Structure 1
Amino acid sequence: MIKSFLLALSACATLLGAAAQAQESYPDRTIKLIVPSSPGGAADFLARIISPGLSHLLGQTIVVENKPGASGTIAGSMIARSKPDGYTLDMAQAASIVAAPYIYKQLPYDPSKDLAPVALVAKFPYILEVNAKSDIKSLADLVAKAKAKPGTITFGSAGLGTPSHLAGEMLQEMAGIKMIHVPYKGAGPASNALLANQINAVFVVSSSAIPMLKGKEVRALAISTAQRKASAPGIPTIAELGYPGFDITSWFGVFAPAGTPPAVIAKLNKSIAQTLKDPKVDEYFKRLAIDAGGGSPAQFAKFIEAEGRTAKRLIVGDKAAGAK
């Protein structure tokens, strides 16, 4: 009896020792970073900006893989089913974490239970844009046209339930107008639709919007944050144009499958924080009006809880933003 107990105890100690050794040696192979949108979107931009520095710090290759669709929930579902070892990560967007539970009746995963927050990476403002050839010259023009012919003005978004969609819904409510929402599989396709004159307007994340503005193919009407941005000082806020309280940003963060060892999550969090402080990354962010993230996994989790309450209010408690 005692001999069997000692053998079992020895086996348990061996397993624990092997697990600890595996965590200490992490990572020892390629890491896959899943992007929940098509190339050209904010998540894709972020993943490709931070992956070189992250790869250098971790000593392993970071492979960026695009898995667009269903406002990021396809990628979220994939991560939720992955082995919790830190080798498959998700550059998740706000929609798939805080909005999806209130939009999809049969979501194949529970963000609060199946995904582990690793690090908040960045927050992006949105810029409301129209095609440069459009006769809509200002936000006032857009609102006037929408009021004159309700249901004829179209606005695109990066997908159902994304902050770009909710920004459009909030504008409709505050301005007392009715537009037609056209969801796309990411910011890239939505921007392309605007350039092709397939939609009248779109809320585009700053990382995509500012380069487009420099090309003079689009016209900026307003920015979604409460304050103007230094990298786009000439773009007024929606709040200052007559809609006080309008303030919506999009955020992105890295998530791992639930059950990933805390030591692995801590190492990833530290490496991401260091990468965000890199002068080249900082310069990119400032030029594109992006606010860098940071903080511990616990702080990120608290941030998500607060964002979840806001999403619930906009989607479930707000008739104008009835995204369901």
Structure 2
Amino acid sequence: MNPVSISRRRAVLAAILATTWAPGAFAQAFPNRPITLVVPGPAGGTPDIVARQLGQQLLGDLGQPLIVDNRAGANGNIGVGAVAKASPDGYTLLMGFAQTMAINPVVFKKLPYDPVADFVPIARLVEFELALAVPASVPATNMTELLAWLKANSDKASYGSFGTGTPSQFAGEMFNRKAGLKMVHVPYKGSAPLVNELLGGQVHLGFVVPQVALPHVKSGKLRILAVTGERRSANMPLVPTMKELGFESVVAGGWYGLFAPKGTPVDIVDRIGKAVGSALSTPALKKFLMDQDLNPAYQGWREFAAFQQTEIARWRATVVRTDFKAEE
């Protein structure tokens, strides 16, 4: 046989073998360089802080640094869309939120990504509730007093949210309906701007991320009258849940989780997921998260995938119940 033909056949066979076995080979060596974690929110925000703390814990297990890449904008759609197009090799990951991976699909008519078809869930990290906060200018220290004040001032009452189509708005609207109120909704771009407007009295109540409001609660400028979780907050054990107060439909919160682009080898997904589980079980990280009013809520990829589907269905039902009109 011609030596050139033999060489060509060997080259073709080598290429086929490389294609066939590459995923396993990569997985065995994974990771051999830094991993990028895209956070679809601004630097300094709670998700960013959590990502950096998680990265420190994962370094010892994975042996490679986790580089946080903040890509905020468009309700998280910019950052998520970028990861959807990334190589499925485990070196580009996404910190997905309830907003980006369960709510946006049912509140936007068009998205630059599909949260199920374009991604593989790796692990759920944390969950958290929202808090019903009022400024000191509103003369209410409990729900009974708040409802009396709102009904007496129905012509001017308003509630703020940290964005259109967010859990904050849906919590406010469900409260509005259950209480028989007609408060005007005022959306802001994030929990911090919402809290600032509450402090200034521009809106009369809002469902906020607790850790953003707590410093102002301690100073007496804000009051937290209820939380939206299924159970009371460990940091605010005297504050009742909305469910305890008769507002069982006002159960709204959020969660963070890790995702990879669709096509990422399952052994790499499993490798990262187990490392995350170990990290979240460390006393130091658990204490850090709970101090931020975040509840460690690890789930492996199988459980997390099922949970995401349940969340999409839950928020789709909420959109219908509140007559929310999908955004363009």
What is the TM-score of this pair, normalised by structure 1?
0.89
Could you tell me how far apart the structure 1 residues matched to 2:154 and 2:138 are? Answer: 18
Q: Which of 186, 189, 205 in structure 2 is aligned with 1:185?
A: 189
Counterpart in the other structure of 1:307: 311
Q: Deviations over 1:198-228 (max 9, x none)?
A: 3322212233333443343321111112322
Aligned pair 1:50/2:59, yes or no?
Answer: no
Aligned pair 1:275/2:296, yes or no?
Answer: no
Could you tell me how far apart the structure 2 residues matched to 1:5 and 1:153 are? Answer: 78
- Displacement of 1:301 after TM fit? 0.5
Counterpart in the other structure of 1:318: 321
Could you tell me how far apart the structure 2 residues matched to 1:182 and 1:49 are? Answer: 33
1:122-141 aligned within 5 A = 122-141=126-145
1:69-80 aligned within 5 A = 69-80=73-84
Letter in 2 for 1:193: E
Cα distance change of structure 1 residues 245 and 199 upon mapping to structure 2, 3 Å threshold: closer
Q: Deviations over 1:23-81 (max 9, x none)?
A: 22222222222222234544223223312112332222222232222222222111112
Bigger Rg, which one = 2
* Contact 2:132/2:226 (8 A) holds in 1: yes
* Contact 2:35/2:66 (8 A) holds in 1: yes
Could you tell me how far apart the structure 1 residues matched to 2:315 and 2:72 are? Answer: 21
Aligned pair 1:88/2:92, yes or no?
Answer: yes
Structure 1 window deviating more from structure 2 (141-150 vs 172-181): it is 141-150
* Contact 1:92/1:253 (8 A) holds in 2: yes
Could you tell me how far apart the structure 2 residues matched to 1:105 and 1:236 are? Answer: 36
Aligned pair 1:286/2:290, yes or no?
Answer: yes
Give the match's secondary structure for 1:191: helix
User: Unaligned 5+ residue runs, structure 2?
Assistant: none
Aligned pair 1:31/2:27, yes or no?
Answer: no
What is the TM-score of this pair, normalised by structure 2?
0.88
Give the match's secondary structure for 1:113: coil
Give the match's secondary structure for 1:122: strand
Could you tell me how far apart the structure 2 residues matched to 1:249 and 1:220 are? Answer: 15
Cα distance change of structure 1 residues 61 and 239 upon mapping to structure 2, 3 Å threshold: same
* Contact 1:95/1:162 (8 A) holds in 2: yes
Cα distance change of structure 1 residues 57 and 186 upon mapping to structure 2, 3 Å threshold: farther
Could you tell me how far apart the structure 1 residues matched to 2:311 and 2:59 are? Answer: 30
Cα distance change of structure 1 residues 147 and 228 upon mapping to structure 2, 3 Å threshold: same
* Contact 1:37/1:43 (8 A) holds in 2: yes
Q: Percent identity?
A: 34
Counterpart in the other structure of 1:217: 221
Q: Which of 266, 283, 286 in structure 1 is aligned with 2:270?
A: 266
Aligned pair 1:8/2:20, yes or no?
Answer: no
Q: Deviations over 1:266-324 (max 9, x none)?
A: 11111111111111111123334432121221110000111111111001x21455565
- Displacement of 1:133 after TM fit? 4.0
User: Unaligned 5+ residue runs, structure 1?
Assistant: none
Could you tell me how far apart the structure 2 residues matched to 1:206 and 1:73 are? Answer: 24
Superposed CA RMSD: 2.5
- Displacement of 1:5 after TM fit? 6.4
- Displacement of 1:120 after TM fit? 0.5
Give the match's secondary structure for 1:65: strand
Give the match's secondary structure for 1:112: coil
* Contact 2:173/2:322 (8 A) holds in 1: no
Could you tell me how far apart the structure 2 residues matched to 1:164 and 1:66 are? Answer: 22
* Contact 1:232/1:289 (8 A) holds in 2: no
- Displacement of 1:94 after TM fit? 0.7
Counterpart in the other structure of 1:156: 160
Letter in 2 for 1:23: A
Could you tell me how far apart the structure 2 residues matched to 1:308 and 1:165 are? Answer: 17
Could you tell me how far apart the structure 2 residues matched to 1:65 and 1:211 are? Answer: 28
Q: Deviations over 1:60-119 (max 9, x none)?
A: 222223222222222211111222222222211111111112211121111111122111
Letter in 1 for 2:162: A
Could you tell me how far apart the structure 1 residues matched to 2:122 and 2:311 are? Answer: 16
Q: Which of 104, 112, 122 in structure 1 is aligned with 2:108?
A: 104
Aligned pair 1:241/2:241, yes or no?
Answer: no
Cα distance change of structure 1 residues 44 and 202 upon mapping to structure 2, 3 Å threshold: farther
Could you tell me how far apart the structure 1 residues matched to 2:80 and 2:190 are? Answer: 15
- Displacement of 1:194 after TM fit? 2.5
Across the two proteins, how many residue pairs are aligned to each other? 323
